[in-house]
Structure 1
Amino acid sequence: MRFLLSNDDGVHAPGLLALAQALSAIGEVVVVAPSEEQSGCASSLSVSKPLYAHQLPSGFVAVNGSPADCIYLALHELYCNMDFDCIVTGINSGANLGQDVLFSGTFGAALTAQIFGIPAIATSLVGGGVKGKKAGKRREPEDASHYKVAAEEIAKLIRETAILSTCKSLPYHVLNVNIPDVHSSAEIKGRKITTLGHAQIAHPVHHMVDPRGRDAYWLSLRKRKNAYAASALHDEEGDETTQLPDRQALNPLYQQPCEVAGVMTDDKAVAENYISLSPVRLHHAPKAALETLSSLAL
């Protein structure tokens, strides 16, 4: 079994290292990842600049581009003579739940793989302390042991279930996996097939004035407090939050993502210490939408 790995936190990220180590126990691992953090770049490709790749002492290949660039370059040039059984991205530092998958570089890299017909799994470690736990006004380093637990769970998922063969039968799907941030596997209750949830963003844009007096804007996907209940996912003490109007009030056609009977949303699953497995399909024109638009006189 051969895996191609990438991420959006950069080639030196602890989650990528843990994932490579865990999957090396069950197959051959090739790593091609961004040389620097590329969070929030979705599936963007660098078509207006050249890409440069160099191999690190670890054997990992670093690329000066996006996660999608890394997958694209690996499949069509760097390792074009290799066949990969699965492309796994992550382990992302922080959750990729609900609508966040649209912006995630971790998910975007997996989507790029699936476009070329290779089973793809995007993985993330959920938890408010993933990028460094808050200790007073300082941040502590990331706990690599938590990534090790998450990586071992991903390896078990691939080794002990038929997830890969099933994913091969689902074209244009990415399996989006979120793992609770726990100290040991014993704290994980199990796995749940889930749908994507939806949580409101606390403060989408932070306005500031730079030292030269210019207006500057920092975009944020941070969710409202308690948006993901027990996971304490994004918010930290002292964070500013803004009460946004209800989406239904803004747009009467907006509908909250509904739960399939007996299927939890991803945010609820991880809040209850389950591993969330969400099959996400893109490049898809829904039948109902086609029928509605086809009825128009265009």
Structure 2
Amino acid sequence: MRILLTNDDGIHAEGLAALERIARQLSDDIWICAPEYEQSGASRALTLADPVRVRTIDPRRFAITGTPTDCVMLGMTELIEGAKPDLVLSGVNRGANIAEDVTMSGTVAGAIEGMAMGVPSIALSQMGGLHPSDPFFEVAEAFAPGIVKRLIEIGWPKDVVMNLNFPNRPLGEVTEVEVTRQGFRDVQVRHAERRSDLRGRDYYWMGFRQEKSQPADGTDLLALYEGRISVTPLHIDLTHAETVFNMRKVLGGAPPKA
């Protein structure tokens, strides 16, 4: 099995090294195409206004001055020799990619690009990492190989990516995996922190507040809060089917007049 690895934290990220260790438990045919610099929050951006350059680290490892989407596309079309990959793995991200965050995630976007190019794809993220005591990446490394192998055995639709998130718990406390749906927080966690430079000019750091929501049953949020591994099938059709059905009853035909 040929596996392409990417991420959004960059070619030197600890999570990418963890992902390579995970992948090598599944195959020895591993290719790595990852951003030269961190691309967190890049979503599915494609670099169009600047040239994209490739630095060859070794014959199967490339650092790319672009987004995760650029990396997967270049890997598939230019860099991988011979047959295209059988699987794309994106991660392991530093921090969870759940709920409404998935639309901003470069990690999830890397998997989406793999799916869009016809290859089964999985995004992997590890909750936590904010404190030295966090059991970082060891939970993902312990459980991801078995889960990925089982997902490959089961299979999933061609227009779906699998989004795996691992809880921030000691390894011995993680005993369950749950197939979940994407949640939505009832609190606002994103914020802009204003600061001033030495000349008195304001600038901003974008970030997240560490606030818990009250998530619904069956969601990725609740699974992680309660210490379970979350497996969420995602697709890029953002249409809200119920609203389409309801609005067709009241809007359609001749355009309404102002």
Give me the TM-score of the superposition, normalised by structure 1.
Answer: 0.76
Who is 2:103 aligned against?
102
**Aligned equivalents of 1:284 and 1:117: distance in 2?**
19
Q: Which of 193, 215, 219 in structure 2 is aligned with 1:206?
A: 193
Who is 1:138 aligned against?
none
Structure 1 residues 116 and 58, CA, compared in 2 at 3 Å: closer, same or farther? closer
Q: Offset at 1:165?
A: 5.1
**Aligned equivalents of 1:190 and 1:292: distance in 2?**
38
**Aligned equivalents of 1:97 and 1:49: distance in 2?**
30
Structure 1 residues 293 and 116, CA, compared in 2 at 3 Å: closer, same or farther? farther
Cα distance per residue 1:37-57 (max 9 Å; x no partner): 111110101011111111225
| 8 Å CA contact 1:74, 1:80 repeated in 2 | no
Who is 1:147 aligned against?
137
Structure 1 residues 205 and 165, CA, compared in 2 at 3 Å: closer, same or farther? same
Q: How does 1:69-218 map to 2 (within 5 A)?
A: 69-79=70-80, 81-127=82-128, 130-133=129-132, 146-159=136-149, 161=150, 163-164=151-152, 166-167=154-155, 169-184=156-171, 186-199=172-185, 200-202=187-189, 204-218=191-205
Task: Give the aligned residue type for 2:148.
Answer: I
Structure 1 residues 174 and 94, CA, compared in 2 at 3 Å: closer, same or farther? same
**1:285 is aligned to 2:228:** no
| 8 Å CA contact 1:100, 1:221 repeated in 2 | no
| 8 Å CA contact 2:30, 2:60 repeated in 1 | no
**Aligned equivalents of 2:73 and 2:97: distance in 1?**
22
**Aligned equivalents of 2:59 and 2:85: distance in 1?**
20
Q: Offset at 1:284?
A: 4.6
Task: Give the aligned residue type for 1:271.
Answer: Y
| 8 Å CA contact 1:5, 1:29 repeated in 2 | yes
Q: Offset at 1:218?
A: 2.2
**Aligned equivalents of 2:76 and 2:165: distance in 1?**
25
Question: Alpha carbon RMSD of aligned pairs, Å?
Answer: 2.4
Structure 1 residues 203 and 116, CA, compared in 2 at 3 Å: closer, same or farther? closer
Cα distance per residue 1:211-237 (max 9 Å; x no partner): 23222222223342x338xxxxxxxxx
Task: Give the aligned residue type for 1:10.
Answer: G
Task: Give the aligned residue type for 1:270.
Answer: L
Q: Offset at 1:117?
A: 1.9
**Aligned equivalents of 1:41 and 1:54: distance in 2?**
20
**Aligned equivalents of 1:183 and 1:287: distance in 2?**
40
Who is 2:42 aligned against?
41
Who is 2:17 aligned against?
17
Task: Give the aligned residue type for 1:281.
Answer: H
Who is 1:241 aligned against?
none
Q: Offset at 1:74?
A: 0.6
Q: Offset at 1:266?
A: 0.8
Please identify runs of 4+ aligned residues in structure 1 that moved more than 4 A.
none
Cα distance per residue 1:56-108 (max 9 Å; x no partner): 25952111111111011111111263221211110000111100101111011
Unaligned runs of 5+ in 2: none
Structure 1 residues 73 and 52, CA, compared in 2 at 3 Å: closer, same or farther? same
Q: Which of 221, 225, 233 in structure 2 is aligned with 1:271?
A: 225
Who is 1:53 aligned against?
54
Question: Number of paired residues?
Answer: 250
Who is 2:67 aligned against?
66
